[in-house]
Amino acid sequence: MTRAASGADWWRDAVIYQIYPRSFADGDGDGVGDLAGVRSRLPYLASLGVDALWFTPWYASPLADGGYDVADYRAIDPAFGDLAAAEELIAEAAALGIRTIVDVVPNHVSDRHVWFQEALAAGPGSPERERFWFRPGRGEHGELPPTDWVSSFSGGTWTRTTNPDGTPGEWYLHLFAPQQPDLNWNHPDVWEEHEAVLRFWFDRGVAGIRIDSATMPVKDPAFPEVAEAEGHPFVDRDEVHEIYRRWRAVADSYEEPRVLIGEVWLADQRRFARYLRPDEMHTAFNFDFMTRPWSAAALRGSIESTLDAHRPVGAPATWVLANHDVTRPVTRYGREDSSFGFEARRFGIPTDLARGTRRARAAALLTGALPGSLYVYQGDELGLPEVEDLPREVLQDPMFFRSDGVDPGRDGCRVPLPWTESGSAFGFSPRGTGPAPWLPQPTGWGAYSVERQETDPGSMLHLYRALVALRPRGTEFGWLDLGRDVLAFHRGAGFTCVVNLGSTPVPLPPHTEVLLASEPVRDGLLSPDAAAWLRA
Ligand code: GLC
């Protein structure tokens, strides 16, 4: 049994493990991960000591964007299981003291969603189209899109429809792929439906939601170009906060209040913190920290500005090294430029995996020791690298296709997990002769497997397990000065974390015990790219 976090404030310093269901574990042997696979691995998740699981979308979806194109929020995608399996999973996890968080995607739905199908069929001027953003094109024959906005997935944000009679029709807005039409949040049905969906899952025992693309649902209905807009035409508009106020009221209406966690990509930390006001979200992902390079000054700057921005709103910070959208930490930290940016992604950037792994171990101790909640993306506890040599013909991510193959996309961090040292799918699928995993695993994947790492006390898995068990709780935090290349801080009187980002060994400050270290500590010296937790 894990340490069951209790009380209404459990989320303030929780460890939340992110599951990408397609790639976690395959229960039925079809090469695609599923809920049966997750259920079979609940003992593993309990052994990690995590407080909650966040599932990226598990709903019925054509998977044009890995499930972020939801066709039906009240159904589980048949590839993953069914509603009964989800209910059982939620209950089984709860029995182990693990809460469940589901993903909600307010900005868009799938083009297969019944609303969008109705809108297409009903034609221009119909009330069905009002739930989306249909507009006539510019130009003499409407042949130009209504705006020149650029999609988060490259290319334009509008796709032209064909009228029921075969003539070219209106355009519809999609900030992401064409299979993800944007919803119109001026429409009352959109508000009502999302509140109903929240209740649908909260009533099934879900502890909270992760809110996808949370800054983007509200658009400037005048549709100005980005350069001509007051503020931004679709990012972080003031009206968006009203959505989360309404959702917070729904979440607070439960006996154990449900939790709202935002995907809020904003460079401005003060604008970011506005989403965390007491009547809005509980927490939001700290992407500022996640994008910084392995540099003491860069990380210290982010930690300070993060804590400063959160203090006035009383919300805890979150610490995130990766997720299903970004480069795996051991690969990123092994590169010469170890920052993360979507625009910088390319094939063939060299990396030193040994160095990256040392740094990722140290980064795990750093983030695990900071005050707030900690997110762990599946496979990072195994130190999986980004798979950078997937054959192009197996790639699925729209970021790859829409960039004309310039951006490798996000498949490389979504390769099915290795559970056993050998076997055709390294234990991802049950033994047998079923189809191969939906993305091929590298030949050496077994070396990263859970089975192998269980037997190695120096493994990344053992490090993660220990850090979850030993991490300090509470809000106390204060810097110690151990030089420019060292991040050192205490968490109350008894606990000190030291991270050496320099190139020479650093003497540790006085301590009675090394609680945990990412590399062996010899003669009281902490080696480069290493971290230690000390009992002071
Ligand atoms: C978020 C998700 C990402 C998805 C996008 C569009 O950024 O994390 O995976 O592609 O939203 O829904």
User: Which domains does the chain possess?
Assistant: 10-106+188-467 (3.20.20.80), 114-173 (3.90.400.10), 476-535 (2.60.40.1180)
Give the ligand 1 atom nearest the CA of 68.
Answer: 12
pLDDT of 4 above 80: no
Give the total residue count for the chain. Answer: 536
Ligand 1 pocket test target in 110, 111, 212, 340 with most atoms within 8 Å of CB: 212
Say what the pLDDT of residue 3 is. 42
Query: How wide is the angle at C-alpha 37 spanned by C-alphas 323 and 94, nearest 5°?
Result: 80
Say what the pLDDT of residue 225 is. 98
Task: Give yes or no for residue 153 CB within 6 A of ligand 1.
Answer: no
Residue nearest ligand 1's atom 4 by CA = 68
pLDDT of 491 above 70: yes
| pLDDT over 90 percentage in the chain | 96
Task: Give yes or no for residue 105 CB within 6 A of ligand 1.
Answer: yes
Say what the pLDDT of residue 6 is. 60
Task: Give yes or no for residue 182 CB within 6 A of ligand 1.
Answer: no
Say what the pLDDT of residue 185 is. 98
Ligand 1 pocket test target in 104, 210, 213 with most atoms within 8 Å of CB: 213
Q: Under DSSP, is residue 332 helix (H, G, I), strand (E, B) or coil?
A: helix
Mean pLDDT calculated for residue range 467-486: 97
- Cβ(296)–Cβ(282) under 8 Å? no
pLDDT of 166 above 70: yes
Output the CA 213–ligand 1 centroid distance in Å: 6
Say what the pLDDT of residue 164 is. 79
Active site includes 30? no
Mean pLDDT calculated for residue range 45-69: 98
Task: Give yes or no for residue 176 CB within 6 A of ligand 1.
Answer: yes
| pLDDT over 70 percentage in the chain | 99
Catalytic residue among 77, 263, 381, 407: 263
Say what the pLDDT of residue 231 is. 93
Ligand 1 pocket test target in 176, 216, 265 with most atoms within 8 Å of CB: 176
pLDDT of 159 above 80: yes
pLDDT of 424 above 90: no
Residue 131 to residues 39, 103, 475: CA-CA distances in angstroms? 37, 21, 44
Q: CB count, 10 Å around CB of 255?
A: 5
Q: Spell out the SS3 assignment of 369-392.
A: HCCCEEEEECCHHHCCCCCCCCCH
- Cβ(47)–Cβ(468) under 8 Å? no
Say what the pLDDT of residue 250 is. 98
Catalytic residue among 212, 288, 386, 407: 212
Name the CA dihedral angle for 219, 221, 224, 226, rounded to a multiple of 10 degrees: 0
What are the start-end ranges of the E strands in 35-187?
52-55, 59-60, 72-76, 99-104, 134-135, 158-162, 168-173
Active site includes 212? yes
pLDDT of 344 above 90: yes
Task: Return d(Cα 454, Cα 427) in angstroms, integer.
Answer: 14
Mean pLDDT calculated for residue range 260-269: 97
pLDDT of 1 above 60: no
Output the CA 64–ligand 1 centroid distance in Å: 11
Give the ligand 1 atom nearest the CA of 69.
Answer: 12
Residue nearest ligand 1's atom 12 by CA = 68
Residue 395 to residues 17, 357, 405: CA-CA distances in angstroms? 25, 25, 10
pLDDT of 493 above 90: no
72-76 and 59-60 beta bridge pairing: antiparallel
Task: Return d(Cα 336, Cα 260) in angstroms, integer.
Answer: 36
Mean pLDDT calculated for residue range 136-140: 97
Output the CA 2–ligand 1 centroid distance in Å: 31
Which residues make beta-bridge pairs with 496?
490, 534
pLDDT of 258 above 60: yes
pLDDT of 471 above 70: yes
Which residue carries 């498949």 as its tokens? 411
Q: Mean pLDDT, the chain, as a whole number? A: 97
Task: Return d(Cα 383, Cα 321) in angstroms, integer.
Answer: 12
Ligand 1 pocket test target in 325, 377, 397, 402 with most atoms within 8 Å of CB: 325
- 76-96 pLDDT, tens digit per residue, is 999 999 999 999 999 999 999
Task: Give yes or no for residue 54 CB within 6 A of ligand 1.
Answer: no
pLDDT of 419 above 70: yes
Token digits for 179? 């299979």
Burial of 416 (0-12, 13-18, 19+ CB in 10 A): buried
Which residues make beta-bridge pairs with 53?
17, 100
Mean pLDDT calculated for residue range 297-326: 98
With cut-offs at 50, 70 and 90, classify the pLDDT of residue 432. confident
Mean pLDDT calculated for residue range 456-485: 97
Task: Give yes or no for residue 213 CB within 6 A of ligand 1.
Answer: yes
**Residue 55: which residues within 8 A CB-CB, separation 6 or more?**
19, 21, 100, 101, 102, 103
Q: CB count, 10 Å around CB of 178?
A: 20
* Least-confidence region, from 318-327, 334-343, 423-432, 474-483: 423-432
Q: Under DSSP, is residue 95 helix (H, G, I), strand (E, B) or coil?
A: helix
251: left (phi over 0), alpha (psi -120 to 50) or beta: alpha
With cut-offs at 50, 70 and 90, classify the pLDDT of residue 5. low
Say what the pLDDT of residue 2 is. 35
- 398-409 pLDDT, tens digit per residue, is 999 999 999 999
Query: How wide is the angle at C-alpha 192 spanned by C-alphas 66 and 163, nearest 5°?
Result: 65
- Cβ(397)–Cβ(66) under 8 Å? yes
Task: Give yes or no for residue 68 CB within 6 A of ligand 1.
Answer: yes
Task: Return d(Cα 110, Cα 186) in angstroms, integer.
Answer: 19
